[in-house]
Amino acid sequence: MLKQIEGSQGMAEAIALCRPQVICAYPITPQTHIVEGLGAMVKDGRLQGCEYINVESEFGAMSVAIGASAGGARAYTATASQGLLFMAEAVYNAAGLGLPIVMTLGNRAIGAPINIWNDHSDAMALKDAGWIQLYAETNQEAADLHIQAFRIAEELSCPVMVCVDGFILTHAFERIDLPTQEEVDRFLPPYVPVQQLDPDNPYSIGAMVGPEAFTEVRYLGHQKHIDALEVIPRVADEFRAAFGREAGGLIRPYRLEGAETVLVALGSINGTIKDVVDAERERGVKAGAISICSFRPFPLAELNEALSGAKRVVCIEKSLSPGLGGVLASNLRMALRGHAVPVYTVIAGLGGRPILRSGIAGVIEAAGRDALDDITFLDLNRSAVEGQLTRAAGLRESGPIAENLLKALNPGLVHRVSPRRAGE
Amino acid sequence: MNDQAETGGQRVRFYQTGTHTVGNRLMDAATRTVQSSIDRSNAITSGHRACQGCGEALGARYALDAAMRAAGGRMVAVNATGCLEVFTTPYPETSWQIAWLHSVFGNAPAVATGVAAAMRATGRTDVRVVAQGGDGGTTDIGFGCLSGMFERNDDVLYICYDNEAYMNTGVQRSSATPAFARTATTPAVGPHPGNVFGTGKNLPRIAMAHEIPYVATASVADLHDLEAKVTRAMAIGGARYIHIMVPCPLGWGSASQDTIKLARLAVESGLFPLFEAEHGDVTAVKTIRHQVPVEAYLRPQKRFAHLFREGHEDHQTLAAIQAMADANIRRYGLLGEGKA
Ligand SMILES: Cc1ncc(C[n+]2csc(CCOP(=O)(O)OP(=O)(O)O)c2C)c(N)n1
Ligand code: SF4
Ligand SMILES: [Mg+2]
């Protein structure tokens, strides 16, 4: 059924259709509307057979999900940013225990400086936790990926993180086609755990594994991701057959025929990128794009093949690995073995800065002249950072970068703390 | 004291210790301990790797066997990281004969909440959930999750095995470490050796402040009492908390054969009061027949050796510890009606 609703509500409804049995909720922008929506559905009886638990922290949220999943229930939670880091230890643990938890990550920057807006720093921080990471391009896909996520997670006994861009997707009102309960029930059978806590068949789960077996356990965890490279596209195919639309899969190439400059990105920015590619193609510029849906597992072979004709690859990245540059680009270089193709990083959209079509067009133009640096910060306020660097070169300043920058930008704004008067 | 009693027409001699301990042989079958029963669950079976005389191994075994009996075997246990977890599950071996899950150090209460929710959601409402952790896992790193579980009144019995330090990592101070005790991070050096006086937290009382249905303290020195409290806790729904003192020969620097004796002296000195509370109010205390001076409890433990240096006994500190015991005796009326 078509509905004009907020992305978070669309996701909440899609998640409810998956019949989660335990939902753990803790507020953090921009994810909160999803768990609020689910809470209302549990409370008014639309979502039956579900335990909705208001936990005391994100660490608690993931921990409750771990217990619930190990106890044989379909478990779901959602978080973002600081919340993901707060639960980090349990996030790794869920993957290590092979628990098919599904979590929405409303992608948001990580502080300091604190920032509630969108980028991918949170997801990147935990990219190696053993979770499958799927990125949604649109609100429709955000809803659909959750339905696929439970299938993938439960088939592989591996947790799945559905990454949705904060605000851009979570808070945007769009037309979303929501399937019926019967349709989802046909696609997603009830959860049958492979191993669960059961007094009739007692297992010890979560034992201490030493050097003699740890490598093997990790190898097998890696192998789940290798298997996921087959499962994810298969589930996307089945989804298309069942619901009649595209969602998920490993990668989505766009206008790659004869493309010389190929932009690669994760998530919602691909919409803008495709618009720019269309415009460039109109002008005769041979541009193309790839939207990566599955960042973990990373589809090395598919990317290698899709990029075989490219002259240059530009990663538009919403995160930064300080001291290295772009995480996506460094991953992508591994996919390009055998191709002598330069891979550029464009850091864009950090902390919610809008990525404009003009900015992307400029990147394509510079790339076409092979004039891009290895790493470019899109729309960087050069005079601000250079002023600060010059000041810092003369005067060693410790302390918060954001506040130091403010001093340079507007010295009048800096509060001077007056020495306390005696007796105060 | 030597005494005699009637059991099934047979006169048997027994030795009654200074407390109210009574041997199983003297009791009718129904009131005998779970531990003495051949059909106990053996939740933790032999072959684990605890140190000799480990109070935690005893306490966990007593508590879980009693809980298993109370739950009719329909039980799942969740464990925080710590000695108990490490010594029972050196992969690929396990000492657990019950369904058991370990996630991480600080989340056992939340994991247990999740297991209980799963049992409800999947229609297995008869399955009970017990969570357990050491004092560090409970009073420090797991405290937020524990308070959340209490506050929501989740259907979980949480058991803290209090050996008064982070033992698994080599005896570091926790917020349950007693004043003046030597640990690896509160060494017995300098002008104020050992753990700082006036620090630490009293978790049973914090649990009571949540007004949960049941809170109790117990000791491995009093098996009947411990089992009775676990059994009572298992008969109630909602969040329940039992704090069991479990001496640790390695961390306390005590002889492995003294574990029960020290646990008993902790109670008899008044340093570790045994009580029960319901919905925030103390409902029962275990009285002490003869109060022993704290010195009797402290002296056999090397972690307090700096208080008893030859010719330099620290009378001031001993008096401070004695005052703590006396305060407990007054607060809980441990000497019985009208005696303090
Ligand atoms: C997050 C985290 N921090 C620290 C540790 C290290 N650690 C493991 S067990 C332990 C001590 C446990 O102490 P306690 O809870 O008192 O249990 P005990 O071993 O004394 O029974 C510590 C500090 C850990 N595993 N995880
Ligand atoms: S260190 Fe202490 S708690 Fe740990 S196994 Fe040894 S005696 Fe038991
Ligand atoms: Mg301890």
Q: Which of B63, B88, B67 is nearest to B76 (CA)?
A: B67
pTM of the model: 0.95
pLDDT, residue A291, reads 98
CB-CB: which of A68, A90, A204 is closest to B118? A68
- pLDDT exceeding 70 applies to what percent of chain B? 92
What are the chain A neighbours of B79 within 8 Å (beta carbons)? 206
Helix (H, G, I), strand (E, B) or coil at B128: strand
Residue A58 C-alpha, separation from nearest chain B C-alpha, in angstroms: 10
> B137 alpha carbon to ligand 3 midpoint, in Å?
8
Query: Which tokens go with A212?
Result: 């003699």
Residue A208 C-alpha, separation from nearest chain B C-alpha, in angstroms: 5
CB-CB: which of B86, B96, B115 is closest to A67? B115
pLDDT, residue A396, reads 74
pLDDT, residue A358, reads 98
Residues 286 to 305 of B: which have CB under 8 A from any A CB?
none
pLDDT, residue A413, reads 56
Helix-helix angle A382-394:A401-409, to 10 degrees: 100
User: Do residues B194 and B180 lie in contact, with contact meaning Cβ atoms separated by under 8 Å?
Assistant: yes
Closest Cα to atom 2 of ligand 1? B105
pLDDT, residue B64, reads 98
Enter the ipTM.
0.94
Q: Is the CB of B259 under 6 A from ligand 1?
A: no
Residues 96 to 125 of A: which have CB under 8 A from any B CB?
97
Residue B210 C-alpha, separation from nearest chain A C-alpha, in angstroms: 14
Mean pLDDT of chain A: 95
> B89 alpha carbon to ligand 2 midpoint, in Å?
14
Query: Which tokens go with B6?
Result: 């009637």
Q: Which of B51, B169, B174 to mutate to test the pocket of ligand 1 (most atoms within 8 A of CB)?
A: B169
pLDDT, residue B23, reads 67
> B60 alpha carbon to ligand 2 midpoint, in Å?
12
- pLDDT exceeding 70 applies to what percent of chain A? 96
Q: What's the CATH superfamily of A2-198+206-243?
A: Thiamin diphosphate (ThDP)-binding fold, Pyr/PP domains (3.40.50.970)
Contact A97 B73 (CB under 8 A): no
Q: Is the CB of B132 under 6 A from ligand 1?
A: no
* Spans in chain A with pLDDT lower than 70: 408-424
pLDDT digits (tens, 9 = 90+) for A123-143: 999 999 999 999 999 999 999
pLDDT digits (tens, 9 = 90+) for B278-334: 999 999 999 999 999 999 999 999 999 999 999 999 999 999 999 999 999 999 999
Extents of the domains making up chain B: 33-332
CB-CB: which of A63, A69, A199 is closest to B145? A63
Q: Which of A255, A292, A27, A36 is nearest to A141 (CA)?
A: A292
Higher-pLDDT residue of A413 and B103 is B103
The mean per-residue pLDDT over the stretch B200-205 comes to 98
Q: Which of B161, B166, B259 to mutate to test the pocket of ligand 1 (most atoms within 8 A of CB)?
A: B166
User: Hey, which CATH number is domain A251-377, 3.30.2420.10, 1.10.1760.20, 3.40.50.920, 3.40.720.10?
Assistant: 3.40.50.920
Q: Would the pLDDT of B89 be above 50?
A: yes
Buried b (16+ CB within 10 A) or exposed e, A401-414: eeebbeebeeeeee
pLDDT, residue A171, reads 97
Closest chain A CA to residue B79? A206
Extents of the domains making up chain A: 2-198+206-243, 251-377
| Ligand 1 atom closest to B83 (CA) | 19
- pLDDT exceeding 90 applies to what percent of chain B? 88
Residues 193 to 252 of B: which have CB under 8 A from any A CB?
none
pLDDT digits (tens, 9 = 90+) for B247-268: 999 999 999 999 999 999 999 9
CB-CB: which of A54, A202, A208 is closest to B86? A208
The mean per-residue pLDDT over the stretch B223-247 comes to 98
pLDDT, residue B156, reads 98
pLDDT digits (tens, 9 = 90+) for B151-180: 999 999 999 999 999 999 999 999 999 999
Q: What's the CATH superfamily of B33-332?
A: Thiamin diphosphate (ThDP)-binding fold, Pyr/PP domains (3.40.50.970)
- Is some CB atom of chain A closer than 8 A to the CB atom of B145? yes
What are the chain A neighbours of B142 within 8 Å (beta carbons)? none
Closest chain B CA to residue A20? B121
First and final CA of chain A: distance in angstroms?
66
d(CA B266, CA B173): 19
Contact A53 B113 (CB under 8 A): yes
Contact A199 B99 (CB under 8 A): yes
Contact A209 B113 (CB under 8 A): no
d(CA A304, CA A309): 10
What are the chain A neighbours of B100 within 8 Å (beta carbons)? 197, 202-205
